[in-house]
Amino acid sequence: MTAAHSPLPVSDNIPSARSRARLVLFAILAAIWIIFLAGLTWRTANPPLVNRAQILASDRLLVGHWLDVKSGRFQVHKELKQGDLTGEVIVENSWIIQKKISADQEFVVPVRTRKDSYVLTAGDFRIEKSSPASPDLPAGRIQPQVYRATPEILEQIEQLLKTAAQ
């Protein structure tokens, strides 16, 4: 008599519980690594930068908070270029940046002096070379920008002013 033969192949490749556990562990570690990399990318993808031409072309760099952006009322806590201005000032063309402003945050506001007020620095400028390491900037239109007064922004401005003074 012959032995019964099964039409289905018998396989010895059935994964054990131990190999399944390794696979699950590997999948979890891969997911954690991907989440870590995504978080790192999100935190460092868009570092804040200041516009060198705007900072150098400004008469004053006001640090403070907006009392009323529409009317241009700005409370100056300190001034970074000349250092002699505090109190409330009027920034005439502040309506341009109105959508970017949050009242509870401190900002650096580059301005040019007018008779009794200030205007956001904007216009056509050519900034000459301030050091052998930095090239001339081409002439170009500077759009009005304000910057959140973060430690990174304040450090960039401080370094830029030091370089320009040399």
- What would the pLDDT profile of 36-95 be if each residue is shown by its tens digit? 998 888 777 677 788 888 888 899 999 999 888 888 889 999 999 988 888 999 988 877
Q: What is the pLDDT of residue 133?
A: 47
Q: Decide if 10 is inside a domain.
A: no
Residues 34 and 115 in one domain: no
Q: What is the pLDDT of residue 76?
A: 94
Residues 115 and 99 in one domain: yes
Which sign, positive or negative, has the C-alpha torsion 98, 101, 107, 108?
Answer: negative
Contact between 66 and 89 (Cβ < 8 Å): no
Give the whole-angstrom CA distance, residue 37 versus residue 105.
30
Residues 157 and 97 in one domain: yes
Residues 76 and 141 in one domain: yes
Q: Decide if 133 is inside a domain.
A: yes
Give the whole-angstrom CA distance, residue 119 versus residue 50.
18
pTM: 0.64
Residues 68 and 92 in one domain: yes
Q: How confident is the model at residue 149 (pLDDT cuts 50, 70, 90)?
A: very high
Give the whole-angstrom CA distance, residue 105 versus residue 130.
31
Q: Range of 78's domain?
A: 52-165
pLDDT per residue as tens digits for the range 22-39: 999 999 999 999 999 988
Round the average pLDDT of the chain to a whole number and report it: 80
Give the whole-angstrom CA distance, residue 156 versus residue 133.
16
Q: How confident is the model at residue 117 (pLDDT cuts 50, 70, 90)?
A: confident
Q: Which residues contact 104 (CB under 8 A, 6 or more apart)?
A: 65
Of 52, 82, 50, give the one whose Cα is nearest residue 150: 50
Residues 61 and 40 in one domain: no
Total domains in the fold of the chain:
2
Residues 41 and 73 in one domain: no
Residues 59 and 129 in one domain: yes
Q: Decide if 129 is inside a domain.
A: yes
Q: How confident is the model at residue 124 (pLDDT cuts 50, 70, 90)?
A: low
